[in-house]
Amino acid sequence: MRDHPQPPPPTAPAPPGPPPAPAGPSPSDARRPETAVPPAAGPRPRPLGEVRSWPRSFGDRLTTPLPGVRAFARLAREGAFRPGPDGLRGIPDLPYRPAPLPAVGPGEVGVTWAGHASWVVRTGGLTVLTDPVWSRRILGTPARMTPPGVRWEELPPVDAVVISHNHYDHLDAPTLRRLPRDTALFVPAGLARWCRRRGFRRVTELDWWECAELGGVRFEFVPAHHWSKRSLLDTCRTLWGGWLLTDRAGGGRTVYFAGDTGYGHWFGEIGARHPAIDLALLPIGAYAPRWWLRDVHADPEEAVRAFLDLGARRMAPMHWGAFVLSAEPVMEPLHRVRAAWARAGLPREDLWDLPVGASRTLGAAAGTAGRGPSAAREAP
């Protein structure tokens, strides 16, 4: 299934979540100095490829209950599944600028937006794909509006993949089949069996706030306001969340990949536990109609609020411009996130609103041996 909620199987009522985090920091508080920050000690890393047992359901992790029959009836009555003709006229304006991946030196981090929630993240000498979807079409949607920003044949060897959850626009079996079966996969709790059935031998599944390490890079799984479902009978059988990638050997640069999420208290908690996030990859699309999707998909204004809650240094929008998943006009997420960023008084250069296929590189943190002051640069 895609991200439109489906009613869950009967489960015990979810316990109340933590209280909402206090209002996010002011724009000035969110801008932290560019100095080398020693990586936080954090949890002890789990063994790679560990075989684990999990509960039958993660329904108790839902932030809000999934919608029931009345909500589905309203959605069917209103018919608000896709943009109207006016909203689709923006497809030719979607930003698409593929280019060769730039060089990334020691202590640097390079990110390239391949489209939707798929990024090529190069950090600590590793090439990591996030929620890789290179397919032209996914179940139940029209063909993608923009091609992947990086041709599969032009990718460097992929060392690792992180998966946020099992919806079809984030876990794409045809794309994963292109990978060598010894590629390291980092997945949410309960999803390793699905990967191992497809021949992958190095699968590490984690619960929220757990981590594992590969080649000096720490992969930590963190909460999100979302859910999971891939078939009629597996609602919330696997977990969902985001990932923090930290180059522990190269100065501590941290990239936060939020996956798919609504807005809520988890952003403040993540920021409190990780006060030195260099770049937050945050979703801004698939949010209309709001009454239907607000609990599981942040809108552009909420994404900026989440960025402030995190206290991150920079934000790169994602989860828009590739697939038609909801009813907002296709160009609206970009216009709204730019306006929200300006209203918040945030530095324009810290909003990395990249075209599909474009890249940015974070220089090594100040204080890293052999490197000068940090800088962010856009690939030509």
pLDDT of 375: 53
Percent of the chain with pLDDT over 90: 79
Single-letter amino acid code for the residue at 8: P
Q: Is residue 379 very low, low, confident or very high in pLDDT (cuts 50, 70, 90)?
A: low
Q: Describe the crossing of helices 266-273 and 300-310 by its angle, rounded to 10 degrees.
A: 30
Helix (H) / strand (E) element for 75: namely helix 69-78
pLDDT of 141: 87
Distance CA 374, CA 312 (A): 15
Q: Are 256 and 221 spatial neighbours (Cβ–Cβ below 8 Å)?
A: no
- DSSP reduced 3-state for 110: strand
For all residues of the chain together, what is the average pLDDT?
Answer: 88
Here the tokens at position 4 are 């439109």
pLDDT of 32: 46
> Residue 147 class from Cβ within 10 Å (0-12 exposed, 13-18 middle, 19+ buried)?
middle
Higher pLDDT, 91 or 21: 91
- Choose among 328, 292, 285, 324: nearest CA to 138: 324
- Choose among 108, 47, 92, 43: nearest CA to 247: 108
Count H helices, E strands: the chain? 9, 14
Q: Is residue 79 very low, low, confident or very high in pLDDT (cuts 50, 70, 90)?
A: confident
Q: What is the mean pLDDT of residues 97-105?
A: 96
Distance CA 360, CA 101 (A): 9
Higher pLDDT, 370 or 253: 253
Residue 369 pLDDT more than 70? no
pLDDT of 40: 52
Q: Is residue 192 very low, low, confident or very high in pLDDT (cuts 50, 70, 90)?
A: very high
Neighbours of 17 (CB within 10 A): 16
pLDDT of 140: 83
List the beta strands (DSSP E) in 50-115. Answer: 109-115
Q: Are 334 and 316 spatial neighbours (Cβ–Cβ below 8 Å)?
A: no
Q: What is the mean pLDDT of residues 111-123?
A: 98
Residue 3 pLDDT more than 70? no
Distance CA 266, CA 271 (A): 9
Q: What is the mean pLDDT of residues 362-378?
A: 55
Residue 373 pLDDT more than 70? no
- Choose among 17, 1, 15: nearest CA to 269: 17
Contacts of 200 (CB under 8 A, 6+ apart): 176, 179, 181, 183, 185
Q: Which residues partner with 315 through β-bridges? A: 280, 351
Higher pLDDT, 169 or 19: 169
Candidate from 165-179, 245-259, 343-357 with smallest mean pLDDT: 245-259
The tens digit of pLDDT for each residue in 279-325 reads 999 999 999 999 999 999 999 999 999 999 999 999 999 999 999 99
Q: Is residue 7 very low, low, confident or very high in pLDDT (cuts 50, 70, 90)?
A: very low
Q: What is the pTM of this model?
A: 0.88
